[in-house]
Structure 1
Amino acid sequence: MMISLFRSTLSKCNQVAWHLLFLMAGLPGIAESQTVSKYIVVDQFGYRPSSEKIAVIRNPITGFDAAESFSPGDNYALVNASDNSKVFSATPEIWNGGKEDASSGDQAWWFDFSTYDTPGNYYVLDVDNNVRSYEFTIDEHVYAEVLKHAVRTFFYQRAGYNKPAQYAGSNWADNASHLGTLQDAFCRRYDDKSNASTERDLRGGWYDAGDYNKYTPWTANYIVGMLNAYESNPDIWGDNYCLPYSGNGTPDLIDEIKWGLDHLLRLQDSDGSLISIVSLAGGSPPSSATGQSLYGGVNTTSALAGAAAYAYAARIFSDLGMGSYSSTLLESAKKAWNWADANPNVIWKNNSSEYNSVGIGAGQQETDDYGRFAYKMRAAIHLYQTTGDSKYKTFIESNYQDIHLMQWNYAFPFEEENQQMLLHYASLQGVSSEVASSIKDTYKAAMEGTDNFSAFYSEVDPYTAHLATYVWGSNHIKARKGLMFMDYITYTDGSTKYDDAAKAAERYLHYIHGVNPLSFCYLSNMYAYGADNGVNEFYHTWFGDGTDWDRVGTDPYGPAPGYLVGGANPSYDWDSCCPSGCGGASCDAAQRSRIVGQPSQKAYDDFNTSWPMNSWSVTENSCGYQVGYIQLLSKFVSTSEQSGCEINVTTGAQAPKNYEDIAIYPNPSSGTLIIGHKGSSVVKVYNMQGELVIDQKAMAEEQIDIRTLPDGIYQICLFKNGQIIYRDKVVKR
């Protein structure tokens, strides 16, 4: 816990620059410097003490880095970063007899230090080559801060909500968007946009992804996913996520869910049907968008998706003591169900010439017959659990065998949500024992398949997180794959494999956090919270190419922290008008070649160029990706305790370590530090536990008395006008 606090405290002192300097240069009198190697990959945040801990050492064979090579030494060590002591040593084991892995194009070795469980900050060292991994933490609460920022992305995605600097950070502060003339509060129908009588108040909700549109079925899915994350582990959700509603006595995740539900309620007509989409104009920042907001038609898909979200939420909010709100939700759920049951085939597609809706939204929210059936099953399950009404049970037990899990005896991550809902039903009171057994037994058998436990035991992926197929949104599929193993633990009686299932599930987190052939953390701008090499830019209207929020390290602000991007996608390609028929728009052949034709796990690049380079199929975020990741991550967080409520405002314009007019000396020191600089500043010193031990104003040549501090390493930070201007490590001895 104390080490996690230390790392989070470093966010106050611009951990990005400190990581680079500390890792690459070492500390005077403390450690000989070693080069950080991209060939030794680890979870950049770290590991829980009880977790499996495997550093993957890679030698590229095929792909963009095929001309490179790395031959690991025989001697590897886990090194305590505080004093550079070697605490564990072993020889790395070659993966699969040295064969190349087709999915990554790499040869690999594993350095397994799972047996070491002492909390602290560490790195993996190739002793013979004198190269090292990024630094990481071993601590029970290593993912608590990461979870907080993953959830906070929904705050940044809120439409029509003010984002003051106090909570958003000065870099991502923005006024409420889409509340101007003819926007969300005065939204008009897509095919009658000049008619004031069609106006509806459709405020709220979330920007769905990198675009600002709000798709009703997907909004409902996000609510269901977040409700599941909450219900699965209710004690971990804090009321301290540094948001405007933090400290109100309700977990911030519940506040976020309610924000989505309030929007979903506005979408419902009096007859129970739901509007399917609200199409919003773009702009960077979002508050600069001035275009008209338009809503689409109603459809069965939206009604069924909404019914499930309303019914699930009604039960949770009732348990939270919000009886009136719960009653409203349950009434809406019943109305939506009844309308959809009476109107089972109302189809409406956005962005379609067939429906005269070209330009309304981007992604297609409408689904097919099977998709509507699965939504109806989900709605029936939550309505049955909330109401106990047998009519919903009758529908479920008459139709459950038509869900693909039961039809195909096959479990796969693309339908994890459908599989989980059946398993959840099988766990409820009053369910027919034959039905419950059939569902659980089918799932257990399916999990023994080639791509599930069999792949885990066969160690088919050198990066430990096997996927049979990499497609658009592969990081989301990775998260869903991890959740499949957690569903096995939650809903079956296969206790002899529970430990293996948990180990398999956590491997998918490690992949997202850096255990992949790119040594890349797939979360945006998390340098202040433990990541070392991650998403600097991604496809998003706010953080778009050429804006002030474009890229960490280049542009004034960079994107906000914590967004999960789509991930490796070997089906990526530029627009068909390329290379020369795009009306003068740039077709970057070098950028294309960096992804097209690569091994599946290498089919990614850190870019956000829009049409015709179409980066969205690789780097776009999605609330759907985010929810799946939050659900999986929350399985490995055991407390709601998270450090402080101070949001680091890391920008692309990092302050250098030393200014010509700032010096701190002597270092090491036994008693007094001198702060040599012009003007005045605020000096803050933090110990290795992340505790603030000195906080005082400093004028030119100010003396800081550290005689009473225990010997050790401290972080010192200088602030002017609330902004970091200098940070360094100092040694008291």
Structure 2
Amino acid sequence: MQPKLFSTATAVIFCALLFLLISPFRLAAQTISPNIVTDQFGYTRTANKVAVLRSPKTGYDSPSAYTPGNTIVLKNSDNNTTVFSAAPILYKSGITDPASGDKTWWFDFSSVQTEGTYYVLDETNNARSASFTITDTVYKNVLKAAVKTFYYQRAGFAKTAAYAGAGWADGASHVGPLQDRNCRIYNDQNNVATEKDLSGGWYDAGDYNKYTPWTANYVMALLNAYKENPAVWTDDYNIPESGNGIPDLLDEIKWGMDWLLKMQQANGSSLCVMGLAHASPPSAANGQSTYGPATTNATLRSAAAFALGAKYLRQANPVYFGVYADTLQARATRAYNWGIANPSVIFNNNSASNGSVGLAAGNQETDSLGRFTAKMSALLYLYELTGTATYRTQFEAGIPTFPLLAWGNYVSQYFQESQNLLLYYLNLPGINNSLANQIKTATLTAAKKAGDFVGALNSQADPYRAFIKDYNWGSNQYKSDYGLFLWQLKSHNIEPVNNDFYLKAGEEYLHYVHGVNPFQLVYLSNMSSCGAENNIKEFYHSWFTNGSALWDREGVSLYGPAPGFLSGGPNSSYTIDGCCPSGCGSAQNNAACFAESTSPPAGQPPMKSYKDFNTSWPLNSWQVTENSNGYQVAYIRLLSKFVSNAADDSTIVSIADGNWNNPATWQGGVVPSASSKAVVRHAVSVTATASVWAVKVEPAAGNLVVQAGVVLNVLN
């Protein structure tokens, strides 16, 4: 670590740049107590709002003598007036929760819906929470920061100060000799005939490697995030494409999709992986880039991504994306045909079995169930895109093989991809109603089994109100996956009577990520200027590396890591490298086994199996803190369900061509009233046959057709 050179003003300046001065930062009036945890960004108005009061009994921070006072109050931060008070509710008769090691109480202030900034105060103990905001736009800027991490992860793209902030500006990486633009195959690196331009794409995680199957998954997750709530995606994230009339999320999706197109070969197959050199900053990496061969998994997942992209990019803006969508559709068909003709082509990268040691890091290959799921996703999205019945009937033939049905009403944190496909199927035209009912019944039965998902919620199994079954590698992604699953129960009307319960329960998984956890930690980097009073200060990343004077720990290095990155989260399986304590190759390496304490994350209750550090081998911090685009897209997809860009709920956005008075024209099926703010999206044509008010028409082919005598009040 380096001497402290940082002030919080650096991050504030960046957030002002990112959000165009619309996100003021807050300073706490006093030190916040570790015994009162809240969502440090805040809450939407109708959310469950529960502060967790904690007294650690086992783990690194135990024992604690904290006992809350008889009355807890909610204070307005602007004037310190009390707006609500209640007695804390003891969790489960005062048990020590085995997952967290804590005795807890709940302070429920859900009834408070007035917009403002607040904090929770235990006056008896003079203990207060972080400040937070109640408003329906509370997560708007958090979402922007989370999505913008993909801009920082772009390979082969210069990050200028105007968009990245001065602290994270860097030249284009991996564009030198024998790098991405003239990449060669891993097992014939001196053969110029194998050169391909495979530039672009995203660094996958804290490493800079690029993996085709995983990138396809990221693209599909982001496309689904757009599809599920198109109104929240704006064109002002301060990336180079901002202001082009296209939501910046779609611009970022296209960046990833362009790389997938490069990875596809003329015969339709897709190369599976690229290994890139590492340095800090990324532009300093000068080692050779290499690629691996085509595989079934990479090709079928690319087919699915191309098909989904063709459908929703064209729908978002047929003028801007029309030709591109045609290309994606043709590529999807070509990829699917190759994958079906070659169903078992596998390649394990970074493996001694085929001489690929050093080709990337994680193994992108999958098993037979993974290849089946890839095939099913391609079939599903091709059917939605083309309407070709053969794709649908083949998908339906595979439904009994999905874990949900094949394993007896089964859902798990490890098979959410296949579960998502089945739920997606429910909304498509022309489906088999009998199969659809089987899926709905099995999903609800599985969700309500004791000890997991809804069953765990009903039994209040987690004092921090965001239950997952296992805390292992990437647990923060599982938090988002659980929350999304609950949101889907609501959005697909699996049990309509409990829709509100599922919606609010899904939102509570965001509260965990935002600070309602035993560490009182926002698991996002450098977010103080966006409202966090205690966010992660460092995480494992080849750019924001341990010992960097510029990008190591926030508050110690000059800049800290870039904002908005989600870390992996508690991992109860964490361990230092097996070479420790005495077999790491030298006395110096052996000494590194003891460079700092590793308890936590080791030797802790599962939820406390985390440490805010970025030390590399042999302490292997990547097991708990490394970011991943997979974690990021899961979080973004969940977060976007609870984001509003409007000052109130009256904004209604068009989603399809049609008459103003047709509910199908508008998101949510709600026709704008005289008091609504109606937005006609680009590429959508709305015909008004009566007087309409407060209309905004977006650029890039948004079209409002009016008949004679119609009165307009236009916002543009």
Q: TM-score, normalised by structure 2?
A: 0.85
Partner of 1:233: 229
8 Å Cα contact 1:475/1:567 also seen in 2: yes
1:436 maps onto 2:432 in alignment: no
Counterpart for residue 412 of structure 2: 412
Alignment-derived partner of residue 716 in structure 1: none
Distance, in Å, in 2 between the alignment partners of 1:280 and 1:309 is: 23
Following the alignment from structure 1 to structure 2, what is the Cα–Cα distance between the partners of residues 12 and 418?
36
Once structures 1 and 2 are overlaid, which stretch shifts more, 617-626 or 589-598?
A: 589-598
Confirm or deny: 8 A CA contact 1:235 1:640 kept in the other structure: no
SS at structure 2 position matched to 1:568: coil
| Aligned counterpart, 1:29 | none
- Equivalents in 2 of 1:198, 1:417: separation in Å? 34
> What RMSD over aligned residues (CA atoms) do the two structures have, in Å?
2.1
Q: Does 1:111 align with 2:107?
A: yes
Partner residue, 2:355: 356
Please say if 1:594 is aligned against 2:612. Answer: no
- Counterpart residue number, 1:635: 641
21, 32, 36: which one aligns with 1:36: 32
Going from structure 1 to structure 2, the CA distance change for 1:641 and 1:84 (only over 3 Å counts) comes to closer
Which deviations, in whole Å up to 9, do the C-alpha atoms of 1:492-546 show, x marking residues without a partner?
3411010110111011100000000110100001011000111100000000101
Counterparts in 2 of 1:12 and 1:563: CA distance versus 1, 3 Å = closer
CA displacement at 1:15 relative to structure 2: 13
Q: Deviations over 1:331-357 (max 9, x none)?
A: 111111100100000011110111211
**Shift in Å, 1:11:** 9.2
The reply on whether 1:99 has 2:95 as its aligned counterpart is yes
Change beyond 3 A, Cα 1:217–1:640: farther
Q: Matches of 1:637 and 1:595 in 2, distance apart?
A: 33
What is residue 574 of structure 2 aligned with on the other side?
572
Report what 1:71 is aligned to.
67
Structure 1 window deviating more from structure 2 (79-88 vs 391-400): it is 391-400
1: CA distance, partners of 2:173 / 2:373:
34
Partner of 2:625 in structure 1?
Answer: 619
Closer, same or farther: CA 577–76 of 1 in aligned 2, 3 Å: same
* Conserved 8 A contact 1:10-1:528: no
CA distance in 1: counterparts of 2:420 and 2:18, whole angstroms? 37
- C-alpha distance after superposition, 1:474-501 (max 9, x if no partner): 0001100101101111223411010110
Which residue matches 1:528? 529
C-alpha distance in 2, partners of 1:113/1:573?
40
Cα distance in 2, alignment partners of residues 242 and 11 from structure 1: 6
Counterparts of residues 55-454 of structure 1 (less than 5 Å): 55-319=51-315, 320-321=317-318, 322-408=321-407, 409-450=409-450, 451-454=452-455
Deviation of 1:68 after TM superposition, in Å, equals: 3.0
| Deviation (angstroms), 1:168 | 0.2
The farther-off stretch of 391-400 and 212-221 is 391-400
- Whichever residue aligns with residue 355 of structure 2, its letter is N
Per the TM alignment, residue 641 of structure 1 is displaced from its structure 2 partner at its CA by 8.1
Equivalent residue for 1:462?
463
Aligned counterparts of 1:11 and 1:67: Cα–Cα separation in 2: 42
Stretches of 4+ aligned residues off by more than 3 angstroms: 7-20
Query: How far apart are the structure 2 equivalents of 1:391 and 1:14?
Result: 52
Aligned in 2, Cα 1:533/1:13: closer, same or farther, shift over 3 Å?
farther
Q: Secondary structure at the match of 1:345?
A: coil
> 1:317/1:640 Cα in 2 relative to 1: closer, same or farther (>3 Å)?
farther
The residue matched to 1:417 in structure 2 has which SS?
A: helix
Paired AA for residue 396 in structure 1: F
Task: Measure the CA separation in 1 of the matches of 2:284 and 2:635.
Answer: 30
Selected match of 1:605 from 591, 601, 611 = 611
Distance 1:13 1:357, change over 3 A: closer
Say if 1:197 and 1:8 are closer, same or farther in 2 by CA, change over 3 A. closer
Contact preservation (8 Å) 1:175, 1:287? yes
Q: Distance in 2 between matches of 1:104 and 1:622?
A: 24
Distance apart, 1:592 and its partner CA: 1.9
Task: State the alpha-carbon separation in 2 of the partners of residues 478 and 12 from structure 1.
Answer: 27
Does the CA contact (< 8 Å) of 2:18 and 2:163 recur in 1?
no
Contact 2:72/2:107 (8 A) holds in 1: yes
Q: Report the CA distance shift for 1:10/1:237 in structure 2 as closer, same or farther (over 3 A).
A: closer
**In structure 2, C-alpha distance between the alignment counterparts of 1:58 and 1:16, rounded to whole Å:** 30
Q: 1:84 aligns to what SS in structure 2? A: coil
Query: Structure 1 residue 162: deviation in Å?
Result: 1.1
Matches of 2:476 and 2:557, distance apart in 1: 26
Structure 2 partner of 1:551: 553
Residue identity matched to 1:275: L
Residue 441 of structure 1 and its aligned partner are, at CA, apart by 1.6
The question of whether the paired residues in 2 share the 8 Å contact of 1:14 and 1:528 is answered with no
Q: 1:9 to 1:73 in 2, by over 3 A?
A: farther
Query: How far 1:12 sits from its partner (Å)?
Result: 9.3
CA separation of 1:211 and 1:343: change in aligned 2, threshold 3 A: same
Alignment gaps of 5+ in structure 2? 1-11, 649-716
CA displacement, residues 78-113 of structure 1 (integer Å, 9 cap, x when unaligned):
000000000001110100000110000000000000
Aligned pair count reads 627
Q: Measure the CA separation in 1 of the matches of 2:528 and 2:578.
A: 36
The more displaced of 404-413 and 614-623 is 404-413
Paired with 2:502 and 2:284, the residues of 1 have a C-alpha distance of: 47
Tell me the secondary structure at the aligned position of residue 102 of structure 1: coil
CA gap 1:175/1:641 in 2 versus in 1, 3 angstroms: farther
Residue 640 of structure 1 and its aligned partner are, at CA, apart by: 7.0
Q: 1:454 is matched by which residue type in structure 2?
A: G
C-alpha contact 1:15 1:529 (8 A) present in aligned 2: no
Query: In the TM superposition, what is the alpha-carbon distance from 1:23 to its structure 2 partner?
Result: 2.1
> 2: CA distance between counterparts of 1:449 and 1:608?
38
Distance 1:280 1:640 in 2: 42
| 2:52 aligned with 1:52 | no
Q: Residue type matched to 2:501 in 1?
A: D
1:396-435 Cα deviation digits (max 9, x unpaired): 1111111111112111222222111111112210111111
Do the aligned residues in 2 keep the contact of 1:52 with 1:114 (CA within 8 Å)? yes
Give CA-to-partner distance per residue, 1:617-646, whole Å, 9 cap, x none. 10000000000000000000122789xxxx
Question: Offset at 1:13?
Answer: 13
SS of the equivalent of 1:591 reads coil
The equivalent of 1:693 in structure 2 is none
**1:312 touches 1:386 (CA, 8 Å); kept in 2?**
yes
- What code does the residue aligned with 1:488 have? L
Mapped contact 1:201–1:266 kept (Cα < 8 A): yes
| 1:12/1:362 CA distance change after superposition, 3 Å | closer
- State whether residues 551 and 558 of structure 2, in contact with CA within 8 Å, keep that contact through their aligned partners in structure 1: yes
CA distance in 2, matches of 1:96, 1:103: 14
The answer as to whether partners of 2:487 and 2:503 remain within 8 angstroms in 1 is yes
> What is the CA distance between 1:452 and its match in structure 2?
1.6
Distance 1:259 1:613, change over 3 A: same
2: CA distance, partners of 1:46 / 1:484 = 22
